[in-house]
Amino acid sequence: MNVTTTTDVDKLTLTTTAELSASLERTWQLVSDPRKLERWWGPPEWPATFVRFDFETAGRAHYFMQGPDGEKIHGWWRFVSIAEPRELSIEDGFADEQGEPSGDLGVTTAHITFEPIEHGTRMTIVSGFESVEQLEEMAKMGMQEGMRLAVGQIQQILDES
């Protein structure tokens, strides 16, 4: 599996793309099933745990990623739109321990699409930012490498199921 990431400062986006050897329906489970999602949402050394997952338009999710030293970083999602099994749009941000938005670093968006290809499915995640400053701050935190590593875990999950 090849994972690519591309930053476009003019469009304020980070695009992550992977071609997966699995059907559209199986790859959709990567975002609709919180147990599968938490196996890849976050780089390997910062795995995610979803403690709330209301998978419906305007629904909310609360998760945390835990680092190797035990540190937890909480996040929230709001499901903006869901078009099963092809598209999902979310708003994403940092949260307090109860899953409430903290306001730290503002809000980002993610538009995830699944497209059938000859040998499986192409998954594309377009992360959007509010400003160049927000994009640069997230880049300093390692978001591009983190997305590459996170998405790089997906094929193994699909191969197991």
Instruction: Give the model confidence (pLDDT) of 17-55 as tens digits.
Output: 999 999 999 999 999 999 999 999 988 999 999 999 999
Tokens 């090849």, residue located:
2
- 161: pLDDT strictly greater than 80: no
Structure confidence at residue 2 (pLDDT): 87
Q: Is 60 helix (H, G, I), strand (E, B) or coil?
A: strand
Structure confidence at residue 33 (pLDDT): 97
Domains of the chain with bracketed CATH: 3-160 (3.30.530.20)
- 84: pLDDT strictly greater than 90: yes
Structure confidence at residue 109 (pLDDT): 98
| pLDDT band, residue 1 (cuts 50/70/90) | confident
Q: What is the mean pLDDT of residues 3-8?
A: 96
Q: What is the mean pLDDT of residues 46-73?
A: 97
Strand order in the sheet with 87-94: 3-8, 13-20, 120-128, 107-117, 87-94, 72-83, 60-66, 48-53
The rounded percent of the chain whose pLDDT value lies above 70 is 100
| pLDDT band, residue 152 (cuts 50/70/90) | very high
Q: What is the mean pLDDT of residues 100-120?
A: 96
Average pLDDT, the chain: 96
Q: List pLDDT tens digits, range 141-151.
A: 999 999 999 99
Whose CA is closest to 72, among 36, 96, 108, 43? Answer: 96
